[in-house]
Each structure stands twice: as C-alpha cells, then as structure tokens.
Structure 1
Amino acid sequence: MTSRGTPSRFLRSVLQNGVGRYVCQLKRVSIIFSKKAQSSLGVRDFVEEGVMDYARSNPGTVVYVSPQSRCVPKIVAEYLNGQVREEYVTSKTAPQISEILTKLTNQSGQDIIRIRKPFHTDSPSIQGQWHPFTNRPPCIGPITPQKRNPD
C-alpha cells in the first residue's frame, strides 16, 4: 500500500514468463449456465458454437462446461498461482463471452494494481539511469538551438 491508499508494485513478469518460452497462466476455465433460463441464452449459443474453437486454440487450458439448474451464468477462471476469477455473463451474447474468455486467458491471475514506475532493478547502479548524453564530452558545451540565416 502506498500513502495514497492504493496498492502498487514494480513491473515484473510472472515466474520469469517469456524468458524461455511463454506459458499461459490460465489453467482451468469452468463455464456454468442453466439449461432453460433466458439469461443463459448467450452462454448456450457459445457452448454450441464457440467452445470447441476456444479449446483448440488454447490446448494448455482445461475447459469444463457444466449445465446446472437455477444458477446464474458465470465463467470461473483458475490460474497457476492459485487465483480464482469469476465473471458473470448474464444476458451476454456469444461474441461478448468470447471476448471475456480472451481477456481472462491473457491475464496472469495477479491483481490489477497501479505500477510504480516502468523500470526497476534489484541491483541499482550508482551511476544512475543511462540517457543519450551520459558520456557526452564536456568540451562540446551545452546543446543550443541552431540559429537561422535571415535570407
């Protein structure tokens, strides 16, 4: 927590993801809907048309489809770090559900918080951050705007 009361952290990758090969952090998706309720109409359409395409394009993610009676339609996403996210998809269409699943697939499971600064190192340099004028010889003098010739 910062003095402003909002949580923050430095930018970092999950388990050094991307250093070797990319590992999708989403391990399990459960699509829960009602067989007869009107609010589950879009979910039923997605299950009939789009769930196989999603499963083929994400082979590292297990997809469970569970029809239950008298329940609110939702998507439950479980990540490798143990986080569980629930997205309620009441009265959503099949393309909207596909967008929600894509969003959940691209997330890491960590809480979305404010990033303190775009760069961070565990062993900082005593010289400071590099910029184009770091090693500029002092004899050249300061950079000034060029003067125009009044022609």
Structure 2
Amino acid sequence: MANNAIPRDFLKNVLQNGMGRYVCQLQRITFRFCKSHPGSRHMRDFIENHLLDFTQKNPGVVVYLQPRRHRPPSIVAEFLNGRRESMEMMRKEPQEICKWAEYMRGRSGVQIVNMIHNNHTETPSTQGIWHPFMFRDSETAVAKFPDPKYSAVRETGKTATDYVLEEFNNKE
C-alpha cells in the first residue's frame, strides 16, 4: 500500500479534533437565493421556517443570507482550514436543505479524496481474506453460551478464578 493513502492533513487536523474539546470546523455558511424566482421557493421556505432553529443549535457558526437576482439557490460553507465548498440547492425540499446544512456543519473541511488505488492483478491472492474467526469451529456460530463443550471448566474442573487464586498462593 502506498504511503500517501491517507492525507497528512486528515491525520493532523481531523484526528486531533476532539482531544480536549470539540471545535466546530464550519466557520461560516452562506445561503444564496433569489427573492422572486420560483426555483428558490424551497430555499425561502427553509429560511422562513428552519433557519432560526439551525442558528440556535449552532451559535459558533456565522450565517449569512445573500439574495441574488435570477440565480439558482445554493449553500456556501467556509471552514477553519480555509476551504470553501458550495452546493446547488435547486429543487431541494426544505427538509433536505436542513440535512445538507447539518452535513456541512459536521464536515471537517478536509477535501474528500478517493483512497482506493486502481491496482489490478490477474492472479488474486489464494489465501483469501483473513478475519478473526477464520480458523474457528463453525459450530460456535450457532452454539448457546455458556456451552460445556467449549468451556475450559469441562477439562480441568477449575474456573478462571481458581487459576488466579492458585497462582497467587504459589507466589507466596
């Protein structure tokens, strides 16, 4: 696997967010709409009915409303790392606009990159994919535990507590 599979910005910024306190990475969000065009009807409905709830839940996010004549509605999100993302909201219902605003609020601002490499081989691995239960008996999948067949108590008559007490007494 290549060393550049995970972006360094991701490891440096995203994984450290939450160590200590959570800092919302969305700095400001702009809702662009037209006051008269029918294509912005749902965005205007969102602004009238749902925007106040969004702003009360997220006091650290600056919200702008930008009316633009004869342009499709959109959301522009600006993050703390300087990135800007915009999404067209044409023909999206107010509930869907709420979901996209929450999506932008929850994002880290790091660019989404495809981490799947286009590697292909004509001879795939004959070993198969390993998993923790690979060499276990398949009967354990349907067994009701505790089952005396798979219990260590069956063989020796001792429980784990007995083993611990025995080791403790032997050391003294």
Write out per-residue CA displacement over residues 4-35 of structure 1, whole angstroms, 9 at most, x where no aligned residue.
xxx73166252621111000000000000001
* Residue 6 of structure 2, aligned match among 9, 30, 44: 9
Cα distance in 2, alignment partners of residues 108 and 28 from structure 1: 13
Cα distance in 2, alignment partners of residues 63 and 36 from structure 1: 21
Write 1 or 2 for the structure with the bigger share of helix. 2
Structure 1 match to 2:82: 82
- State the structure with bigger RCO (CA 8 A, min sep 6), 1 or 2: 1
8 Å contact from structure 1 (residues 29, 78) kept in 2: yes
Number of equivalenced pairs: 116
- 1:113 Cα deviation after fit: 2.1
Cα distance in 2, alignment partners of residues 144 and 68 from structure 1: 64
> What is the alpha-carbon root mean square deviation over aligned residues?
2.5
| Structure 2 residue 43 is matched with structure 1 residue 43 | yes
Which 5+ residue runs of structure 2 have no aligned equivalent? Answer: 117-134, 138-148, 150-172
Cα distance in 2, alignment partners of residues 34 and 88 from structure 1: 13
Q: Relative to 1, partners in 2 of residues 1:68 and 1:144: Cα closer, same or farther, differing over 3 Å?
A: closer
Q: What is the SS of the residue equivalent to 2:112?
A: coil
Q: Relative to 1, partners in 2 of residues 1:50 and 1:115: Cα closer, same or farther, differing over 3 Å?
A: same
| Structure 2 residue 70 is matched with structure 1 residue 70 | yes
Q: Bigger radius of gyration, 1 or 2?
A: 2
TM-score of the superposed pair, with normalisation by structure 1: 0.69
Cα distance in 2, alignment partners of residues 41 and 114 from structure 1: 35
| Structure 2 residue 29 is matched with structure 1 residue 29 | yes
